[in-house]
Chain A
Amino acid sequence: MFLMPGSERSGKVNNSSIDGAINAIRSGDKNGMLLLYSECAQSVYAYALSVLKQPHDAEDVLHDCFLQIWEHADSYSSRGKPMAWILTIARNLCYSRLRGQERIEELPEDLEYPETVEPEQRIVLDACLRKLDDGERQIVVLHAVGGLRHREIASLMKLPLGTVLSKYSRAIGKLREMLIKEGIQ
């Protein structure tokens, strides 16, 4: 038997793989941590960035989130929804950080992306981070990058499902419009 790419649903996160990784982490297996990082890091970072709007802060949350997972893997109860658990940890870390700030900082004007980010990807990131409102941005990141279902997002963000659905739809529409305007097809 061999694994083929695309056998998971539509490129979204692989919950059973993540479940397995967390189980491995419980027994101190760092291979599990490595696997978990490769599966989830971008979702955690993207969500943290969508909340905090500061890359350095998002990076710190990324770091702290995985350390918390390492320390508290025993508290995870497998119900096939590990991403929701992980992103809840990330959310709590984000809001802890926000509570410690005097005010919510705005996205820097001169946001620097790593060299690995291509020009078109910079446009996509800018569109997402700058042109959507907070709710739209977090919802679209949680669904498109984090792989959460709408009702999981509704539960995480304590919003009605309908609000999540309509905000998501609106966010996609805005992004489409902006990307077409920038000449991206």
Chain B
Amino acid sequence: MRKKDIERKLMQAFSAATPDRSEEILKECSEKKKGVVDLRTDRTEKKTGTARSSGTRRFGVIAVAALAAVLLLTGAVAGVIGIRHLRAEPKAASEIENIVAETGGTPMPSPLPAETAAPLSTSLPLGRTPTLTPSPLPAETAVPFGLMEAIQAAKQHANVPENTEAEARTAKEDGVRVYNVRFGSDGAAYEYDIRIEDGTIIKGEMELWTLPESAKTRNAVTLEQAKAIALDHAGVQQSSAVFSEQKNGHENGRTCYEIEWRLDGVEYDYEIDTETGVILSWSYELEDLKRGGVETENTSAYIGEETAKKIALKDANAAEENARFTKCRLDEDDGQIFYKIKFILDDVEYEYEIEALTGAVIERDIDFEELKIKDGAGDIGKEKAKAIALSDANVSEADAQSLKCKKDTDDGRTVYEIKFAANGIKYEYEIDAASGTILDKDRETGGEKSSKKTAAPDGSKSSYIGAAKAKSIALGDAGVSASEAERMKCKLETNEGEKVYEVEFEAGGFEYEYEIDAVTGKILSRDKERAD
């Protein structure tokens, strides 16, 4: 089990155990700072022109927070109409038409440019035939849909600007491979699942998290009116729909009508605000996700092993000729397909997971500590191992008493365990069988055990190696030249009673940290991480 695996398990376990106190915290934040509107309270925004909300999360905290990040990135300002509809026919307006239609020539109260306040492509004035229904896009061939095309299709369906920031990944829904696309626009959060085989939108959802300004002037609606709003938005004739549910509920702290129906294999789900008739959320979903799809495995859309390897090498800042690949294969985890790649470079093992369709680096792991065995090095032998231990302890073989050496396996690595005594001191060493590296050492003086003790056997204090030497040892170990190292630091510290040099530097996009025995120059610990 690798260090990375353990770290990931810890993250996942603590994530699952972490309670969600966000609602309570946000509520208290409202009480501490006045003038912030959200969908959970009826407080009015005192700042002009802005309405902010926290919204609840249909897809979990992460989804809306991610969309909040999108909002921050795009610089969009809340306070625009969440749902708009195409212009109504010029006829006497009923109560419903007042709610659903825009009057010609009246600008939308939105801070965004007019062209971005376009209505949903699926919504139509009453009486018109839908030009685009929320049902699947027609698929002419079985060629896998590209990711960019999927994002484009999702944005077109939601009728949001082309430059809207979107997040996308491959996933699996009930055994069907999909692109999961998410984005936020005009105070609403959208999510789509698009079948990879043919680009069919098998699921689409919207959740409003900013109540539009115009809602303040609207009147309450009845259930019948709410149904009409939902059907109109979906472009469905009233007579065609068979309602499975019509009831009162709560969404984002507001009372709403929950309206569901099925038609032509599509399940529709709406929540309409009772006080204003605003659509708080909608979703469309194919009941049979595999309907119309192609059941064959098709890898032609994947980037290929060679490209995946190149991406990994580039990310590791490594040249292909210096790397030795030990693994490159397709793998799948939780519906996401990726290339699992491993290579060794300068005794460092690199492991990557590269998204199969997009080439994105999903994960990287650089195991600096685990691979120190030179390929084909073999075994140094007992005699050599003993010699290394004795030399380190500054004890001759003639002076060593009860010298023992045995071969063992520790954590998957073959080692020599060496024990001896000299001048009243007991020594224990663990030496890597392949490389001869001293992995561990202990010395015991009169019953007092101290690991990695650096004083000479006769008890006299040894002089320290000096900062320059310590830096040199660290650089050498890292394979970095002095000229390449940046922001180098070295200081003498005491760690558990022993004097050590702590050396830090950056090179090649990595941060290195070393702890070096101040007397012997032995590297006691090391760490290497990608710099921010």
Contacts and interface: CB of A to CB of B under 8 A. Distances in A.
A130 interface: no
B52 A31 contact: yes
Interface in A154-174: 160-163, 165-166, 169, 172-173
B500 A162 contact: yes
A145 B165 contact: no
24 contacts: A3-B69, A3-B70, A3-B166, A6-B353, A9-B530, A9-B532, A15-B532, A24-B72, A30-B36, A34-B54, A35-B65, A37-B65, A42-B14, A42-B18, A49-B17, A55-B17, A121-B12, A121-B17, A151-B504, A162-B525, A165-B515, A165-B527, A179-B6, A184-B1
A34 B22 contact: yes
A20 B74 CA distance: 12
Contacts of A7: 360-361
B26 A10 contact: no
A133 to B, nearest CB: 14
A46 B1 contact: no
A67 B515 contact: no
B9 interface: yes
Interface in B157-210: 165-169
Interchain residue pairs A-B with the least CB separation, the first 10 = A162-B515, A38-B65, A6-B362, A121-B13, A31-B68, A165-B525, A144-B7, A46-B14, A4-B360, A124-B13
A10 B25 contact: no
Contacts, number: 225
A135 to B, nearest CB: 11
* Max chain A C-beta neighbours (<10 A), residue from B16, B54, B66: B16
Nearest to B362: A6
A172 B6 contact: yes
Interface of B: 1, 3-4, 6-22, 24-26, 28-30, 32-33, 35-36, 38, 52-55, 61-62, 64-66, 68-72, 78, 151, 165-169, 353, 355, 358, 360-365, 369, 411, 493-496, 500, 502, 504, 511, 513, 515, 524-527, 529-530, 532
A131 interface: no
B12 A150 contact: no
Contacts of A165: 513, 515, 525-527
A101 interface: no
A125 B14 contact: yes
Interface string A125-144: 10010000000000011011
B10 A128 contact: yes
Contacts of A59: 19, 21
A30 B19 contact: no
* Max chain A C-beta neighbours (<10 A), residue from B52, B61, B69, B151: B69
A44 B15 CA distance: 11
B464 to A, nearest CB: 15
Interface string A113-128: 1101110111011001
B34 to A, nearest CB: 9
A172 B513 contact: no
Given A144-B11, A151-B513, A45 B18 contact: yes
B54 A117 contact: no
A63 B24 contact: yes
A45 B14 contact: yes
Contact of A175 (B6, B64, B151): B6
Interface in A62-100: 62-63, 66-67, 70-71, 80
Contacts of A46: 10, 14, 17-18
Given A30-B54, A162-B525, A163-B495, A2 B72 contact: no
Nearest to B9: A124
Given A63-B21, A161-B513, A30 B38 contact: yes
A161 B515 contact: yes
A35 B513 contact: no
A17 interface: yes
Contacts of A141: 10, 14
* Max chain A C-beta neighbours (<10 A), residue from B70, B353, B532: B532
Contacts of B32: 67, 70-71
B25 A42 contact: no
A41 B365 CA distance: 24
A37 B363 contact: no
A38 B168 CA distance: 18
Contacts of B6: 144, 172, 175-176, 179
Contacts of B64: 34
B41 to A, nearest CB: 11
A166 B523 CA distance: 12
Nearest to A59: B19
Contacts of B526: 165
Contacts of A24: 72
A66 B25 contact: yes
A8 B396 CA distance: 53
A67 B28 contact: yes
A34 B29 CA distance: 11
B33 A28 contact: yes
Contacts of A114: 16-17, 19
A160 B21 contact: no
B47 to A, nearest CB: 8
Contacts of A2: 151, 165-168
Contacts of A149: 511, 529
Contact of A45 (B19, B66, B362): B19
A42 B55 CA distance: 20
A40 to B, nearest CB: 10
Given A35-B72, A41-B22, A165-B526, 19 more contacts: A4-B169, A4-B355, A4-B360, A6-B363, A20-B69, A30-B38, A31-B71, A33-B26, A35-B69, A42-B14, A45-B19, A70-B32, A145-B14, A160-B502, A163-B495, A165-B527, A175-B6, A176-B6, A184-B9
A42 B18 CA distance: 6
A166 B64 CA distance: 39
A128 to B, nearest CB: 6
Contacts of B7: 143-144, 172
Contact of A3 (B16, B28, B62, B165): B165
A11 B353 CA distance: 12
B10 A162 contact: no
A150 B10 contact: no
A31 B355 contact: no
